[in-house]
Amino acid sequence: EVQILETGGGLVKPGGSLRLSCATSGFNFNDYFMNWVRQAPGKGLEWVAQIRNKNYNYATYYAESLEGRVTISRDDSKSSVYLQVSSLRAEDTAIYYCTSGSSFAYWGQGTLVTVSS
Amino acid sequence: DIQMTQSPSFLSASVGDRVTINCKASQNINKYLNWYQQKLGEAPKRLIYNTNNLQTGIPSRFSGSGSGTDYTLTISSLQPEDFATYFCLQHNSFRTFGGGTKLELK
């Protein structure tokens, strides 16, 4: 059974930083692209970042709206992916989901990031 | 960037109704279109991938169709558990979601 668990969310002051983690099991993590997607309260879904697998040299891609403030990384030995977000703003308040594969087959339950003073 | 326009934003229907939800891409997405269902407080669940492929475990009352820039999700006979929000996702170039359709009980 595929399991995806995001952690690391919480309350952060504007201008602060956060590192989100996503631990996975139940599939061959090394073979998969991994992604972060976010959803602001009451809003739709927004793709944030993707990291490809070793065969694609771990290439990374970012949504234009966030580029420069986010970094996605992975540790294949831990079947985990990470998202570092900096210079946080109120509009970054959202549930951040980790999803597997090129086309987002499986999702975790998400971790809530709240940016507020 | 590819834009996805999803319609309608809200849909009221009754159990047993046939409903359709549409997504229109700003350019050809070569059938790289998925549909997701999201219930309140839950993560999205993939229903359909690559236009018309049913995810394992999803009931056959869900189906997808389309090509080029226009895509449709059809629920042939609404069940009580189908009232939720539905999103499309294009994965032809980067990734873009539609704005969502909230399906409510009439």
Q: Distance from A6 to chain B by nearest Cα, in Å?
A: 12
Which chain A residues are closer than 8 Å to B36 by Cβ? Answer: 45, 104
Q: What is the pLDDT of residue B94?
A: 86
Decide if pLDDT at A21 tops 90: yes
Which of A10-14, A66-70, B4-8, B14-18 shows the lowest mean pLDDT across its residues?
A66-70
Would you say the C-alpha torsion B69, A102, B34, A42 has a positive or negative sign? negative
In chain B, whose CA is at the least distance from the CA of A104?
B46
Which distant-in-sequence residues (6+ apart) come within 8 Å of B25 by Cβ? B2, B3, B4, B5, B33, B68, B69, B70, B71, B90, B92
Are A104 and B91 within 8 A, CB to CB? yes
* pLDDT mean across residues, chain A: 95
Q: Is the pLDDT of residue B3 over 90?
A: yes
Query: For B18-22, B26-30, B77-81, B93-97, which range has the lowest pLDDT when averaged over its residues?
Result: B93-97
The verdict on B57 touching A (C-beta cutoff 8 Å) is no
B35 touches chain A (CB under 8 A): no
Whether residue B10 has pLDDT greater than 90? yes
